[in-house]
């Protein structure tokens, strides 16, 4: 997740480039069974489950309405889980509500995975991670630092 407080003086703006995820000035790792998200807070989290999508199936990660009703958004703009993806799913959680929201690992279920069967399975060359753009393939951490 982003470090608390203001950006360091030498960072005037964030540009989305592969090096963004390597910046020790921006990110902090924090593991906890219980996590509180402050109003206007943002955190990258990950599912406990690992997902492996075959070439004829894609998924959409969506928030659940009970959590949305208290202001929690579970993904901001990236709901699609591509055919061929293998890893944990990163949740981009933002609290847009007026109160602190608490999540407990293994107990709360703020997200759901919807599966969509493809009429024509993708060729192996077209699967997620087959090219050089699949930086999230085999992820085990919400911040893609290790691209193996």
Do the domain assignments include residue 2?
Answer: no
Nearest to 63 by CA among 39, 86, 47, 83: 47
pLDDT (tens place) for every residue of the chain, 148 residues total: 455 556 666 666 666 666 666 666 666 667 778 888 999 988 888 898 999 999 999 999 999 988 998 999 998 878 999 999 999 998 989 999 999 999 998 899 999 999 999 888 888 888 888 877 777 788 777 776 654 4
Does 62 participate in catalysis according to the annotation?
Answer: no
Please indicate, yes or no, if residue 147 is contained in any of the structural domains.
no
Please give the tally of structural domains in the chain.
Answer: 1
pTM summary value: 0.68
Q: Is residue 12 part of a domain?
A: no
Rounded Cα gap, residues 73 and 69, in angstroms = 9
> Of residues 31, 38, 92, 109, which has the active-site annotation?
92
Q: Name the residue range of residue 119's domain.
A: 36-126
Cα–Cα distance measured from residue 24 to residue 3, given in angstroms and rounded to the nearest whole number: 9
């Amino acid at each position: 997740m982003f470090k608390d407080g203001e950006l360091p003086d030498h960072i005037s703006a964030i540009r989305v480039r592969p090096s963004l995820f390597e910046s020790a000035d921006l990110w902090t790792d924090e593991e906890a069974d219980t996590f509180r998200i402050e109003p206007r807070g943002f955190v990258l989290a990950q599912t406990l489950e690992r997902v492996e999508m075959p070439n004829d199936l894609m998924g959409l990660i969506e928030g659940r309405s009970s959590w949305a009703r208290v202001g929690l958004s579970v993904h901001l703009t990236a709901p699609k889980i591509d055919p061929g993806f293998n890893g944990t799913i990163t949740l981009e959680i933002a609290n847009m509500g007026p109160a602190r929201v608490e999540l407990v690992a293994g107990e709360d279920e703020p997200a759901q995975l919807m599966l969509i069967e493809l009429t024509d399975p993708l060729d192996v060359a077209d699967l997620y991670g087959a090219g050089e753009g699949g930086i999230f393939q085999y992820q085990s951490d919400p911040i893609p630092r290790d691209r193996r």
